[in-house]
């Protein structure tokens, strides 16, 4: 599990991160995306766009 936040994680029995990235979330995600894309074919960026679209649709979906 990767913890990305502006604050350090509170570690307990239910939440144990393997990696902790503390700081500006937007900048951290951009750096991660850049590194993923640098090591993979262009499909990585396309996949991230698809995930973003699906996540946005899920968040905007009205509750039942």
Decide if 63 contacts 43 (C-beta within 8 A).
no
pLDDT for the residue 15: 83
Q: How confident is the model at residue 49 (pLDDT cuts 50, 70, 90)?
A: confident
- 11-30 confidence digits (pLDDT tens): 888 887 888 889 999 999 99
- Average pLDDT over all residues of the chain: 83
Alpha helices in 1-64 (DSSP H): 25-39, 43-60
Whether the model pTM is above 0.85: no
Segments making up each domain of the chain, as ranges: 2-60
């Amino acid at each position: 599990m990767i913890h990305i936040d502006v604050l350090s994680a509170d570690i307990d029995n239910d939440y144990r991160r393997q990696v902790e990235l503390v700081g500006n979330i937007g900048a951290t995600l951009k750096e991660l995306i850049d590194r993923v894309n640098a090591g993979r074919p262009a499909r990585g960026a396309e996949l991230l766009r698809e995930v973003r679209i699906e996540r946005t649709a899920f968040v905007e979906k009205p509750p039942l």
